[in-house]
Structures are given as C-alpha cells and as structure tokens.
Amino acid sequence: MKVNENCVGCGQCTAFCRKDAIIVKSKAYITDKCVECGICATYCPMKAIEVAE
C-alpha cells in the first residue's frame, strides 16, 4: 500500500489495521508488516491510501 499527499495524519487508518503496520506522525507510514489486505484504505477519510503499483 502507498500513502499519497492527501494524508493529513489523522490516525484513523492505524486503528483498523489488524497487523499493526501503520505508524502515524503528521502523516501515515506503512511498514513492512503490511499484508496488503486493503482495510485501512476504506477507513481513510482523505482517500490517501492506494494500492502500490
């Protein structure tokens, strides 16, 4: 998953990631614990999480 420049750092995504793969500080950072399940993207109010190419 990839975080785009729409991210404001609200931290909503991290609460719904079951793999504890998102660190948030002013912006979301997705770590290598990510299993690409896509759940976080549906909860982002800014449409800031996309599937990485």
Partner 1 sequence: MKVIVIGAGLGGLLSAAKLSGSGYEVEVFERLPMTGGRFTNIDIKGYQLTTGALHMIPHGPTGPLAQLLEEVGADVIIERDEGMAFMRIFEDIENNIYEDVPFGKFGKTFSLWNRIKLALFMITTRKNPPKDCSFAEWLSRNFDTPLAYQMADSFCGWALSLKAADVPAEEVFEIFENLYRYGGPGVPIGGCKAVTDALADVVRSNGGTMYTDKEVSEIIIKDGKASGVIIDGQKYPADLVISNIGHNFTHDLCKDVDISEEHQQYLDRIKVTKPSAGVKICLAANEPLIGHGGVLFTPSARLVNGINEVTNIDPDLAPQGKHLVMAHQTTQWERTPYLEDEIDLGIKDLEEIFAGKDFEVLLTQSYYNGWPVNRSSSGSDIGNTTPIEGLYVVGDGAKGKGGIEVEGVALGVRNTMKLILDN
Which residues sit at the interface with ligand SF4, rule CB under 6 A?
Answer: 1, 3, 7-13, 17, 19, 21-22, 24, 28, 30, 34-40, 44, 46, 48-49
Q: Which does 42 bind (CB under 5 to 8 A by kind): ligand SF4, partner 1, none?
A: partner 1
CB-count burial class (<10 Å; 0-12, 13-18, 19+) for 1: buried
Integer Cα distance of 51 and 5 in angstroms: 14
Among 2, 4, 8, 37, binds partner 1 (CB under 8 A): 8
**Residue of 5, 15, 2 lying closest to 49 (CA atoms):** 2
Q: Give the residues lining the site for partner 1 (CB under 8 A).
A: 6, 8-12, 14-16, 24-27, 42-43, 45-46
